[in-house]
Amino acid sequence: MSALSRLGRRPSVRPAQIVSAVGLETAVGVTAVVLFALVALAAPLLAPYDPHAFSGKPLERPSPAHPLGTNDAGQDILSELIYGTRISLAVGLGAALGTVALGLLVGAIAGYAGGPLDALLMRLVDVMLTLPRLPLLILLAAFLGSGLAQTMAIISLLFWPVTARVIRAQVQSQRQRGYVKMARNFGAGPAYVLRRHILPAIAPLIAFGLVTAAGRAVAMEAGLAFLGLGDPTAKSWGLMMRFALNLPGLLLTDRWLWWLLPPGLLITLLVLALTYLGMGLEERLQPSLRRR
């Protein structure tokens, strides 16, 4: 439908046209993710204070000086929120890259090699997929210690099998195609075939994998920080919620309104933006998913 409607239009690009071409979900998702990224990049310009600085009295109510008040240590909540964007996006991006890199490696090897190596790797994937992820995540975080790098590594280590399975299926089907067989008969090595023929075919899957992995990672990082398993020095949204909820009687005053709600809302918005982006990509990958 989008291709047809594009044909009859003038060449100038209007927002509505972009939306109809890529789908509403993708458009909303991309816009929101770009906005979050801009906030993260411009954090020093946007934030009124250094989030670690004790810029006010503890537990101040919102005022012109502190639009969202201060936390129990006297730090500006708005600045914490703005800088928190950096942590969520960095962990999301890092963990997504790690997850997809591992999944791509295992999936491509299994799908390309076939035979016993494939069977072995896929059995490993099966076992990994059956393991309960969050308890394992907690176990790893408890023993590995908490830092942003550890959080990214743990999330990547636990979520790669999902990507590996999808990539393997696609690599396997590509390998059977005539042109790939031909290239191999002409003496092309695995590295050449993978890069030249198979990578372009799995590129959309990689994009989809990255977006979904990023969404999961953002939610997981916030969740770990919320549980007290994140980096205690990184002012992430999850940690903000944890500190807010640790204040006795928080819910008995209206303090939750500017301390607890905003970080929760931002995590949810970022996760949902990535979800919508993933749904849009998925629809493009599998046209059969289009709304009937």
Partner 1 sequence: MKARIVAYLLTLWVILTLNFLLPRLLPGDPLSALLDPESSDYVFEAEVRASLETYYGLDRPLVAQYGAYLKGAVTGDLGRSIRLNQPVGELIVAHLPWTLLLTGTALTLASLLGLLGGSQAAWRRGSAVDRLVTAASVVAGNAPVYFVGMMLLILFGAELGWLPLAGGRTPFAQYNSPQAAIADIGTHLIMPALTLTLSLLGIQFLLVRNNMVGILGEDFMLVARAKGLRQARLKWNHALRNALLPFVAHLAAHAALAITGAVFVETLFQYPGMGRLIFEAVGARDYPVIQGVFLVVAIVVLTANLLADCLNARLDPRLAEEVGQ
Binding positions for partner 1, rule: CB under 8 A: 123, 126-127, 130-136, 138-145, 215, 219, 222-223, 226-229, 241, 245, 251-252, 256, 260-261, 264-265, 267-268, 271-272, 275-276, 279, 289, 291-292
Which run of H or E residues covers position 161? helix 148-175
- Could you tell me the smallest distance in angstroms from the CB atom of residue 163 to partner 1? 16
Q: Which is nearer to partner 1, 139 or 182 (CB)?
A: 139
Q: In the bound complex, what is the minimum distance in angstroms from residue 292's beta carbon to partner 1? A: 6
Query: Residue 108 and residue 196: Cα distance in Å, rounded?
Result: 13
The least CB distance from residue 245 to partner 1, in Å, is 7
State which residue, 20 or 275, has the beta carbon closest to partner 1: 275
Looking at the DSSP assignment, which residues form a beta bridge with residue 76? 70
Q: How many CA atoms lie within 13 A of 177 on its CB side?
A: 13
Cα 216 to chain center, whole Å?
5
Q: Of the two residues 201 and 245, which places its CB atom closer to partner 1 in the complex? A: 245
d(CA 281, CA 292): 17
Nearer to partner 1, 173 or 286 (CB): 286
Nearer CB in complex with partner 1: 36/49: 36
Helices (H) and strands (E) in the chain, counts: 14, 0
Q: Please give the single-letter amino acid code of residue 95.
A: A
Specify the residue, 219 or 281, whose C-beta has the smaller distance to partner 1.
219
In DSSP notation, 213-262 reads: HHHHHHHHHHHHHHHT-S-TTS--HHHHHHHHHHSTTGGGSTTHHHHTHH
- Residue 174 Cβ vs partner 1, minimum distance, rounded to whole Å: 26
Which residues face 70 on adjacent strands?
76
- When the beta carbons of 163 and 174 are compared against partner 1, the nearer one is 163
What distance separates the 2 farthest-apart alpha carbons in the chain? 74
Q: How far is the CB of 129 from partner 1 (least distance, A)?
A: 9
Closest CA to 90 of 222, 242, 248: 222
CB of 234 vs partner 1, minimal distance in Å: 17
For residue 64, the minimal CB distance to partner 1 (Å) is 26
Q: What tokens does 213 get?
A: 């992995």
